[in-house]
Amino acid sequence: KNEVEQSPQNLTAQEGEFITINCSYSVGISALHWLQQHPGGGIVSLFMLSSGKKKHGRLIATINIQEKHSSLHITASHPRDSAVYICAVRAGTASKLTFGTGTRLQVTL
Amino acid sequence: NAGVTQTPKFQVLKTGQSMTLQCAQDMNHEYMSWYRQDPGMGLRLIHYSVGAGITDQGEVPNGYNVSRSTTEDFPLRLLSAAPSQTSVYFCASSYEGQLIEAFFGQGTRLTVV
């Protein structure tokens, strides 16, 4: 069993829909990262969370430390949001990350 | 401010050839790392470094070497390329021991034939 599990693996949505991507982890962590990877492109950090909730534009990330679960929400989705969204966790003060396998999001017109 | 610069973007090697993937960052980050990304799997750590002169193995180090002679540079060497090393490689950097975001390079798509 992977230490970091994401769901769903694939997601198709229509423009304007509210999207939720989930991440569950099995180890104690100091921080959780949400990353975005566009086709053929690099990886960009969206959020780093250690508690509570963060918002940036149409993106919202939440984390529940007790339940070992985080969600990434996209409001009013747009085709340019189409990408792979990756959850990664850090344990303790070390910088090493453990990654989920990603959620591939396709937003259509 | 270039962030993390990774070269080349694409590379095709023949089995047995060697090559070096370059990674440089200009943010004075102590921590640098190399990952490989394969279909259906999360990024896996190959090697990492917490400062100049210090390197350590990650989850999948076999077939790869690294060195860290300066804070800025962290090259990854494939000693004798094998088809199993066909993958997309990412370099990343961050401040060690601090809860801040990580910065990633643009990736290198390597094909070994």
Instruction: Point out the residue among B40, B97, B102 whose CB comes nearest to the CB of A97.
Output: B102
First to last CA, chain A: 36
Nearest CA-CA partner of B83 in B8, B17, B7: B17
Using DSSP's 3-state secondary structure scheme, residue A8 falls into coil
Flag whether pLDDT at A97 surpasses 90.
no
Tell which B residues from 39 to 58 touch A, by Cβ distance under 8 Å. Answer: 40-45, 48, 50, 58
Q: What is the DSSP letter of A51?
A: S
B17: its two tokens: 């050839």
| Residue A2 to residue B42, Cβ atoms within 8 A | yes
pLDDT given for residue A40 in this prediction: 75
Contact B8, B106 (CB under 8 A): no
> In the predicted model, what is the mean pLDDT of residues B46-64?
95
Flag whether pLDDT at B66 surpasses 60.
yes
| A54 part of contact set with chain B, CB < 8 Å | no
> In the predicted model, what is the mean pLDDT of residues A21-47?
90
